[in-house]
Chains A and B, each alone.
Chain A
Amino acid sequence: MKTWSLSWNGLRTVAGLELRQRVRSKRWLAALIVWFVVIGGITSLVLAAAGLFAPQPPQVWCQISEDGGQDCTMPTTELSQPVDLVSYTSHPVCHIDVAGRIDCRVESPCPPGSGTCPEPAPTQPSQSCLTAPDGSVTCGNPTPDQSTGLDQIVQTVCTLDADGQGSCRYEALHDWQPSTGPLVFSLVTMLVLGLGLLVTPALTSTSINGDRQAGTLATLQATKLSAAELALGKLTAAWVTMLAFALAALPWLVVGVVISGSSIWQVAVCFGVMLIELAIVCAIGLGWSALINRASGSTLLTYASVVVLSVLSIILVALLTILSARPTEVRVWGLPAHVQQEWDRQIEQYWQEQSEGASGAVYPAPPVGQCRWQTESLSLEHGERIWWLAAANPFVILADAAPKPSVAQDYPDLYAYHSGDVLFNIRHVIRQVAAGPALEYDRCPYADLGVAQAASPVKPHPISGQGPIWPWGLAFNLALGVFFFWIAVKRLAVPYGRLPKDTRVA
């Protein structure tokens, strides 16, 4: 059949016709200007608001120590919030002696009144000391603890300058920390996608039935143009219009990029995914306009399709996640009940002795050596069964496909928590849902010891280790777009066999 034959000339003729009509009407110019102003306005608001929340660099206090050197304590900052079962934060302390040797340790807060703190696990001091050309020595001291991980984002750096003057400070491992860029970039990207999804249905949802109504379709069908050329020409014209809108938003995206230091790669991927998603919505509108005779009907259905894809899917997943809670057997690494009871008793006794003013009481060390695997039944939400409902969501696809900054690679939880990067947060949440609940938990009271959890047999629950979601969503959406495009071509193919009800050829 000639229905599917495509020629460059035919495509250009149809697309040119559509675009020319669109350019002639002043409405589109007005819409473009409004679009630019709205996105610019919102970007400026986001920028202004984000500036207020820029985190302050953490402060470092140093004092002269008895031996004439300096003791610098890194205070726990507001960044140090518990995200795991272990709510322990360390205070790295660096000591610089008069000879210029630097020794950094992580000291755990001791239980009140205790004279004998458990010895903090020494970190690997001075491993990464570098001597700069000016003679200063810089020692990085990343805390090795991977699971509590709240101090990891900063590195204790002590510097001994050529005059022998030492100083320590926090240095962010990554320079994203004080930046509002990711927030601005991700919000503007989402905004452009959202507004694009609002505008796009208007471009194609009356494309075919409108032309039929206006009596201009049949005369084109009677020419040598194939149905595929007609459909693809209309699709291309609509997509090029959306491209113009997207390009009008580009300056504002660039603002986000410039202040965030996002890579051009990230911008390109976001832009590319956005344009693909808008093309899919164009195809959906085209299909509806071929299926439904009344312009109001096809417009409504196109908007409904967009709402189902981008809003309803999220609501559905959120509700179903709650409903998916099931009693689930999990393995818990912790103290057996009788050991826990015994330890609790000892602690109680310790406090009692404290209150009685007894000296020499020792805070009972947690019996971590007796931690065992135990089975428990917990009510857990099983997002891994329903996450795919949200996979076809354009916002999810865009967020999941966006390349993540390198810092997010290393510290996903921290980055999600602190950066305000909407894209990454969506990705983080959906992958968390898709990963399902953790089936092993660590309740062994290491934290009280201040020891690294390296000894725990519980493997970290792989959240971002879950494979990417966007290929599924994008493939589904592409299939959807192809299906609607196919409908449009089928409905445009002449000679008509069975005519849909109430349809006139001309």
Chain B
Amino acid sequence: MSDSLPELRPDDAPDPPAPDVSPTVSAPAPEEPLGRDPGIRAELVKRAFGQVKAVDGVTFEAPAAAITALIGPNGSGKTTLLLILAGLLKPDSGSVQVAGFDPVTGNLDLRARVGWMPDAFGTWDTLTPFEILTTFARAYGLSATQSRQRADQLLSQVHLTEFARSPARVLSRGQKQRLGLARALVHDPEVLLLDEPASGLDPRSRIELRDTLRDLAQAGKTVLVSSHVLSELEEVYDHAVFLSHGRTVAPPPASERPVSARGWRVHALDPASLRGFLDDAGIPWQAGAGASGEVILDLTGPESASQILRAAVAAGVPVHTIAPLAGRLEEAYLALDEERK
């Protein structure tokens, strides 16, 4: 599994503050009925490679017309799970339905409806992006004319039209990644499985990827995205599935977590007056990272943050930022990491 962003590796992360907000707050609870048939339904899916239990009991549903985030640390079984969902790997046990088909009994039907973008994939270096896309379109059974049209359309969608007729070896990593996305979309799949789609993308491409995924979800597709780059998923996902040690886990509810050590980042135009205010109010603080002068507070939750903000503004402290240290996904992710220990 590639890890392009070492700063997000759980091992390198500072001791995480335990979140007191459940990350599933905005996601529907599993028992809540979904609007339409789920594009992906997995129940107690297991898959081992010899002694290694890569996927060891995964149960989740990814609804259609929504983006589902697949979150878990390295080695939690994300890639293996996606291989099972893409119809490339037989589950040892459990039941899987993707676009209504079982990966074993309905493998071909499943593959015809699933677009899969692996985390590490190669391109045929001597072929042009246009040829690569038409080849895949043909492999999915499109006619020659349809294939050419589809290739042109996708190349403009991922902004590779100018490279359409150059060999793929001249493409940068990010461009190849975009080509890989176009490749996964070539047969207009009902279900889209993306493994680390944002790695190697520049910020602009990430935003475009987000928009593309949003459009696809709106068009009724089931989108399942696994990513380490949590900030990318933060703004786009509708549901989240957490994997740890090959199992889907519900992050521990807020009530079970220690209420302390909840980090909030506070910054003011005049750092000195902020610190003075905090000292006066008897609120413990630590200096934040860097020389910017921001401070970190341990708060029990958004209510206390709101209270502090109100008090500070009332005291005339020019506060311009107060935010939790981590996003909700990151928080949940780190909670998983903690559970792992």
Contact residues of A with B, CB < 8 Å? 2, 5, 9-10, 12-14, 16-17, 20-21, 24-25, 214-216, 218-226, 494-497, 499, 505-506
Question: Given the known A-B contacts A215-B121, A506-B118, are A223 and B139 also in contact in the complex, defined by CB atoms under 8 Å?
Answer: yes
CB distance from B75 to the nearest CB of A (A): 14
How many angstroms between the C-alpha atoms of A226 and B141 in the bound complex?
A: 12
Which stretch (B19-27, B106-114, B281-289) binds chain A? B106-114
Q: A224-B111, A224-B112, A497-B90 are in contact. Are A17 and B135 (CB under 8 A)?
A: yes
B164 to chain A, nearest CB (A): 16
What are 22 A-B interface contacts by the 8 Å CB criterion? Answer: A9-B138, A10-B139, A12-B138, A14-B139, A21-B126, A24-B167, A25-B126, A215-B118, A216-B121, A219-B136, A222-B86, A222-B87, A222-B111, A223-B140, A223-B187, A224-B108, A224-B112, A224-B139, A495-B89, A495-B104, A505-B83, A506-B118
Q: Which A residue sits closest to B112, measured CB to CB?
A: A224
Write out the residue numbers on chain A whose beta carbons fall within 8 Å of the beta carbon of B116.
219, 222
Q: What's the minimum C-beta distance from B11 to chain A, rounded to whole angstroms?
A: 23
Chain B residues with Cβ below 8 Å from A16 are: 135, 138
Number of interface residues of B (CB under 8 A): 36
Given A20-B131, A506-B121 in contact, is the A496-B90 Cβ separation under 8 Å?
A: yes
Q: Does B84 contact A (CB under 8 A)?
A: yes
Q: Is B103 an interface residue (CB 8 A)?
A: yes
Whether B121 and A13, one on each chain, are in contact in the complex, defined by CB atoms closer than 8 angstroms, is no
Decide if B315 is an interface residue (CB 8 Å cutoff).
no
0 or 1 for each of B137-151: is its CB under 8 Å from A? (1 = yes): 011110000000000
Which single residue of chain B is at the shortest CB-CB distance from A223? Answer: B139
Q: Which residues of A contact B107 (CB under 8 A)?
A: 2, 494-495
A219 contact set on B, CB distance < 8 A: 116, 118, 121, 136, 183
Complex CA–CA separation, A321 to B313 (angstroms): 104
Q: Tell me the bound Cα distance from A222 to B114 in angstroms.
A: 8
Rounded to whole Å, the gap between the CB of A30 and the closest CB of chain B is 15
In the complex, whether B123 has a CB less than 8 A from a CB of chain A is yes
**Which A residues lie within 8 Å of B108 (CB)?**
2, 5, 224, 226
- In the bound complex, residues from chain A placing their C-beta under 8 Å from that of B127 are 17, 20-21, 24
How far does the alpha carbon of A499 sit from the alpha carbon of B83 in the complex, in Å?
13
* 0 or 1 for each of B229-268: is its CB under 8 Å from A? (1 = yes): 0000000000000000000000000000000000000000
User: Does any Cβ of A come within 8 Å of B122's Cβ?
Assistant: yes
Contacts of B138 in A (CB 8 A): 9, 12-13, 16
A494 touches B87 (CB 8 A): yes
Choice from B49, B103, B111, B120 contacting A223 with Cβ under 8 Å: B111
Q: With A and B bound together, what is the CA distance between A17 and B141 in angstroms?
A: 15
- In the complex, what residue of chain B is closest to A495 when comparing beta carbons? B90
- Select B88's contact among A10, A21, A25, A218, beta carbons within 8 Å: A218
